[in-house]
C-alpha cells in the first residue's frame, strides 16, 4: 500500500500465508482492522502487538454461506453468541444467517430487530438473509436495510410468499434481479414432497425409509428444475443450497453451460455420509435434503474435485436434543450441526490429497465472497479486512461434540479422527479464538450489510 509505513496495530509473523493464489513464507501487518502490508519479515512495520505463528498456515477467514444462527424465540436451539463462538472455533470469520427464524426474517422491522440483537452478541461477522415478504415492493426496503441475499424454501412456506404461487415467485425473483441481490434456494419440490409425506403418514409409515421415500431424489430434481426456470425467467443470480444428488447437480451444470446464472453448494455431510449412515445413526444425521446413496456421494465428491462445485457450506442447523427424539420420524427436527466440523473435515480431505488447498480456499472463501458480494473480503491482500484463520495442518484430533460451543452438542461426525485444526481465528484484526478459547467480547463481531 504505502511504502513508508513505520508502525501498525498488529503484525503476524513467521507464517505460511495463502496469498496471491499460493503459499508464501511471509507476514502481514494490520491497522484499523485492515491488512496494510503482506511482506517478508524484514519489510514489516513495527507493531504494538505481535503474533508469531511459528510457521503455521494462515488462510483468509472462512465464509460460511449457510448457517441457522436462530436466537430470539429459538434461542434454546442456538443464539447469536453460542453460534458465532462455534463459528470462531471452526475458523469461520463470516457467517450468513438464514431467515427461517421465529419471527421469520421477512420485513424491515424483523431485520432491524435481528440485527440489533445480533450486534450485542456476535463474536464473528454476520450477514443476514431475508425471506421474501408478502408485498413485492417491500423487497427493495429489505435490501436497503442490509439483507445480503434472499432465501427461498421450495419445500414449504417460509415468509410472505407461498412457494407454489408461480406468479408471486416470478415477481419476487424479478425484483431480486432488478436489485442485483442473490437468491439462495432450498430446492425440494413442495408439492411432490408434501403429497408423499401425507400418503406415507396415512399408510402408517414413519421410519427412516419412509423419510427417504418422501424426500426423494425426484423431489430435489424437480425443485432444481423449478429454480432454473425461475432463474431463466427473471435473470436473477441464484444459488442452489446443499445439492445432494447426482441428477440434481447434472441439471444445474447443464443449465450453467447454457449460460444460466446459477451457482451451487454442497455440505460436508452430503459428500461424506450416506443414507446407510443415517439408518445406523438415526436422528442426529436426519437432515433435509437427507443423506443419499453412495453413488450420489461419489458423484458429488468427484464434481468437487473437478472444481464444478462453487461453495462448501455447513448448513449448521442446531436443534435441542428433545427435538431430535420423537415417536415417529415425522416428529424429528431435521438438521445437522456443522460450524465446528466443516473446516476440519475439509482440511482432512486436503491432507488425504483428495482436494488441494487452493480448491478449499476457492469453495470456502473466494467463491462465497464473490457470489454474495462481500467487498474487501475473501483473500489475504493489502486493503482487505484482516479476517484470518491460523491452521495447524498437521494436528490430529478427534471430533468431540461435548466440546462444541454450539448449544447442540451432537454430530454424526462424533469420534471421527481428523487432521488439520483451526488454532486461531482473527476477525478485523482482533483475536477471537485462540487454541479453542474464545477471547473476544460478545458484540465484537460486525453486521455486514
Ligand atoms: O435439515 C434442515 N434443517 N433443512 C432445512 O432446510 C432447514 C434446517 C433447519 O432450519 O433446521
Ligand atoms: Zn435447506
Ligand atoms: Zn439450511
Answer yes or no: is the C-beta of 244 below 6 A from any ligand 1 atom: no
Ligand 1 contacts CB of residue 317 (under 6 A): yes
Nearest residue by C-alpha to atom 6 in ligand 1: 288
Are residues 447 and 115 in contact, defined by beta-carbon separation less than 8 angstroms? Answer: yes
DSSP 80-110: HHHHHHHHHHTTEEEEEEPS--SS-S-SHHH
pLDDT of residue 440: 98
Between CA 214 and CA 63, with CA 185 as vertex, the angle to 5 degrees is 120
Q: Would you list the DSSP string of 397-427? A: EE--GGG-SSS----TTTT-EEEEEEEEEEE
Any atom of ligand 1 within 6 Å of the Cβ of 335: yes
Query: Looking at ligand 1, which atom is closest to the CA of residue 100?
Result: 10
Q: Does 2 have pLDDT greater than 60?
A: no
pLDDT tops 60 at residue 69: yes
pLDDT for position 326: 87
For residue range 251-265, what is the model confidence (pLDDT) as tens digits? 999 999 999 999 999
- State in Å: Cα 186 to ligand 1 middle: 9
| 338 pLDDT more than 80 | yes
Nearest to 178 by CA among 152, 139, 146: 139
Query: Whose C-alpha lies nearest to ligand 1, atom 10?
Result: 317
1: number of Cβ within 10 Å: 12
**Strand pairing partners for 25?**
16
**Distance from Cα 316 to the centre of ligand 3, integer Å:** 7
Active site residue 315: yes
Q: Which of 65, 66, 68 to mutate to test the pocket of ligand 1 (most atoms within 8 A of CB)?
A: 68
Which CATH homologous superfamily contains domain 64-371? Answer: Metal-dependent hydrolases (3.20.20.140)
Q: 91 pLDDT band (50/70/90 cuts)? A: very high
* Sign of the alpha-carbon torsion through 130, 134, 136, 138: negative
* pLDDT band per the 50, 70, 90 thresholds, residue 6: confident
Of all residues in the chain, the percent with pLDDT exceeding 90 is 98
Closest ligand 1 atom to the C-alpha of 186? 6
- CA dist 108 and 119 (Å) reads 16
Mean pLDDT across the chain = 97
Residue listed under C-alpha cell 444428488: 245
Where does residue 111 rank: exposed (0-12), middle (13-18), buried (19+ CB within 10 A)?
Answer: buried
pLDDT of residue 3: 57
State the average pLDDT over residues 368-392.
98
Q: For residue 159, is pLDDT > 80? A: yes
Cis preceding linkage at 140, omega within 30: no
The pLDDT of 68-95, averaged and rounded, is: 99
- Measure 288 CA to ligand 1 centroid, in angstroms: 6
Which ligand is in closest contact with the Cα of 288?
A: 1
CA 389/CA 424 separation, integer angstroms: 6
Task: Tell me if 101 CB under 6 Å of ligand 1.
Answer: no
Is the pLDDT at 388 greater than 90, yes or no? yes
Over range 424-437, report the average pLDDT.
98
The pLDDT value given to residue 378? 98
| Options 64, 71, 97, 315, the catalytic residue | 315
Q: Is the CB of 377 under 6 A from ligand 1?
A: no
Partner residues linked to 338 by β-bridges: none
What's the Cα-to-Cα distance from 319 to each of 104, 373, 404, rounded to whole Å?
17, 30, 14
Domain boundaries, the chain: 64-371
The number of CA neighbours under 13 Å toward the Cβ of 4 is 0
Q: Looking up cell 447437480, which residue turns up?
A: 249
List pLDDT tens digits, range 206-224: 999 999 999 999 999 999 9
Expressed in angstroms and rounded, the spacing between residue 287 Cα and the centre of ligand 1 is: 7
Considering only CA atoms, which of 171, 410, 210 is closest in space to residue 329? Answer: 210
Amino acid at each position: 500500500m504505502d511504502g513508508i509505513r513505520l508502525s501498525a496495530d498488529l503484525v503476524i509473523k513467521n507464517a505460511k500465508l495463502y496469498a496471491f493464489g499460493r503459499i508464501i513464507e511471509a507476514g502481514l501487518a494490520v491497522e484499523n482492522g485492515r491488512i496494510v502490508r503482506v511482506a517478508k519479515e524484514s519489510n514489516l512495520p513495527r507493531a504494538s502487538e505481535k503474533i508469531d505463528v511459528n510457521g503455521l498456515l494462515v488462510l483468509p477467514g472462512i465464509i460460511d454461506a449457510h448457517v441457522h444462527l436462530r436466537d430470539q424465540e429459538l434461542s434454546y436451539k442456538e443464539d447469536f453468541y453460542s453460534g458465532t463462538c462455534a463459528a470462531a472455533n471452526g475458523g469461520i470469520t463470516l457467517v450468513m444467517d438464514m431467515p427461517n427464524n421465529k419471527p421469520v426474517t421477512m420485513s424491515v422491522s424483523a431485520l432491524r430487530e435481528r440485527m440489533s440483537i445480533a450486534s450485542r452478541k456476535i463474536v464473528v461477522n454476520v450477514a443476514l438473509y431475508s425471506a421474501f415478504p408478502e408485498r413485492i415492493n417491500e423487497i427493495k426496503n429489505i435490501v436497503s436495510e442490509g439483507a445480503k441475499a434472499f432465501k427461498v424454501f421450495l419445500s414449504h412456506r417460509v415468509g410472505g410468499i407461498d412457494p407454489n404461487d408461480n406468479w408471486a415467485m416470478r415477481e419476487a425473483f424479478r425484483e431480486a434481479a432488478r436489485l442485483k441481490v442473490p437468491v439462495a434456494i432450498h430446492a425440494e419440490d413442495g408439492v411432490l414432497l408434501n403429497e408423499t409425506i401425507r400418503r406415507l403418514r396415512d399408510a402408517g409409515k414413519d421410519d427412516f425409509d419412509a423419510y427417504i421415500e418422501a424426500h426423494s431424489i425426484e423431489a430435489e430434481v424437480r425443485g432444481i428444475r423449478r429454480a432454473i426456470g425461475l432463474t431463466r425467467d427473471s435473470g436473477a443470480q441464484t444459488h442452489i443450497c446443499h445439492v445432494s444428488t447426482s441428477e440434481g447437480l447434472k441439471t444445474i451444470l447443464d443449465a450453467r453451460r447454457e449460460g444460466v446464472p446459477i451457482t451451487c453448494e454442497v455440505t460436508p455431510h452430503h459428500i461424506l455420509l450416506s443414507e446407510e449412515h443415517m439408518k445406523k445413526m438415526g436422528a442426529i444425521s436426519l437432515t433435509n435434503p437427507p443423506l443419499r446413496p453412495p453413488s450420489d456421494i461419489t458423484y458429488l465428491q468427484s464434481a468437487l474435485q473437478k472444481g464444478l462445485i462453487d461453495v462448501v457450506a455447513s448448513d449448521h442447523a442446531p436443534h435441542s436434543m428433545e427435538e431430535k427424539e420423537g415417536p415417529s420420524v415425522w416428529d424429528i427436527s431435521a438438521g445437522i450441526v456443522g460450524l465446528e466440523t466443516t473446516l476440519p473435515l475439509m482440511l482432512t480431505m486436503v491432507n488425504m490429497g483428495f482436494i488441494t488447498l487452493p480448491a478449499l480456499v476457492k469453495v470456502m472463501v473466494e467463491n462465497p465472497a464473490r457470489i454474495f458480494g462481500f467487498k474487501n473480503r475473501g483473500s489475504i491482500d493489502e486493503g482487505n479486512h484482516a479476517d484470518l484463520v491460523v491452521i495447524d495442518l498437521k494436528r490430529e484430533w478427534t471430533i468431540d461434540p461435548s466440546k462444541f460451543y454450539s448449544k447442540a452438542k451432537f454430530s454424526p461426525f462424533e469420534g471421527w479422527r481428523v487432521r488439520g485444526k483451526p488454532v486461531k481465528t482473527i476477525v478485523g484484526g482482533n483475536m477471537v479464538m485462540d487454541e479453542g478459547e474464545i477471547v473476544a467480547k460478545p458484540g465484537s463481531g460486525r453486521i455486514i450489510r
